Amino acid sequence: MPKMKLRTVLLAALFALSMLPCIASAQAQASPSPGEKPPVHQKSLLIQIEEGGWVMIPIAICSVLTFYLIVDGVLRTMPRKVLPPEHLEALKTLFPPGDYVGAYDYCKAHPSPFTNVCRIALSLLGEGKAAVEEGILSELSREDSKMQTYISYLSVIGVCTPMIGLLGTVTGMIKAFATLGASGIGDPSSLSAAIGEVLVATASGLFIAIPAFGSYYFLRNRAVKALHDAEDAVVMLFRKMPYELLAGVHIGDEKLYAGAPSWMAVHGGEGDEAAGAEPTPA
């Protein structure tokens, strides 16, 4: 029985599809007189956009944003911009002689994702290897966040534009049924305009969403690869770093605010008693 029902449904669907050309040809032959070729009306792109209704305004805004974000993402994730070869070569000449102050000044004067990571790592040399590694990971995460923030908006546009097109579809269907209920099928121009709004809005939303999603995944993977290359270059520079010789050294012009605990200060006249006093909670 289930097979018979499925076969019946398929036969009915095939019959309906086969009748569509006949219905279309009958309608086409009904309007013109015998021997007269019906005129073909070509719609311009502007007219088709106008048929989309008010939803074409936010879709147009999303299209401009998509183009801007794609161009910006391509420029941000360029390997030459993330890891400039001239920056790497300059630091390769400063690290072997131990000119870490000069390397820090160079990184500060020539900012890029690669030099930003190196600058933070150089400023933490006096804190030991663990602090340097944590600083490298922290700065890489910050640079990744800068890139991914703008790239992630492409994913938002890819999700929102089909929903905006669907909203135009719903409003267009409402207009189509309202026209059909008010005038029946006697006014086909009004009905076709409402149906045109349905189709144009949906197609426009998908037309923007597809490249937005594709560009999002492409730029995201490109940013990850570029930062991995920058991380490998930083690790190469800091390999075999003599941390024991740099213990306590402060490189950079950042002001240090941390100092000795106030309870360890020796006040005049109190001597060792004040120095050995227990810390008083604030």
Flag whether 271 is in a domain: no
Confidence at residue 2, expressed as pLDDT on a 0 to 100 scale: 46
C-alpha closest to that of 109 among 84, 140, 129, 127: 84
Task: Give how far the C-alpha of residue 94 lies from the chain's centroid of Cα atoms, to the nearest Å.
Answer: 36
Using the CB atoms, write b or e for 161-196: b if 16+ within 10 Å: bbebbebbbebbeebbeebeeeeeeeeeebbebbbb
Confidence at residue 215, expressed as pLDDT on a 0 to 100 scale: 94
Flag whether 18 is in a domain: no
Flag whether 24 is in a domain: no
CB atoms < 10 A from the CB of 28, how many?
10
Flag whether 26 is in a domain: no
pLDDT digits over 100-154, tens only? 999 999 999 999 999 999 999 999 999 999 999 999 999 999 999 999 998 999 9
Q: CA 191 to CA 30: how far, in whole Å?
A: 19
Q: Which residue has the tokens 């936010």?
A: 58
CB-side neighbour CA atoms (13 Å) of 81:
11
| Domain tally, the chain | 1
pTM of the full predicted structure?
Answer: 0.67
Flag whether 27 is in a domain: no
C-alpha closest to that of 50 among 173, 201, 160: 201
Flag whether 9 is in a domain: no
Flag whether 33 is in a domain: no
Question: Structural domain of residue 152, as residue ranges?
Answer: 47-250
Burial class (CB in 10 A: 0-12, 13-18, 19+), 147: buried
Choice between 181 and 165, residue whose per-residue pLDDT is larger:
165
Flag whether 268 is in a domain: no
Whether 279 has a pLDDT exceeding 50, the answer reads: no
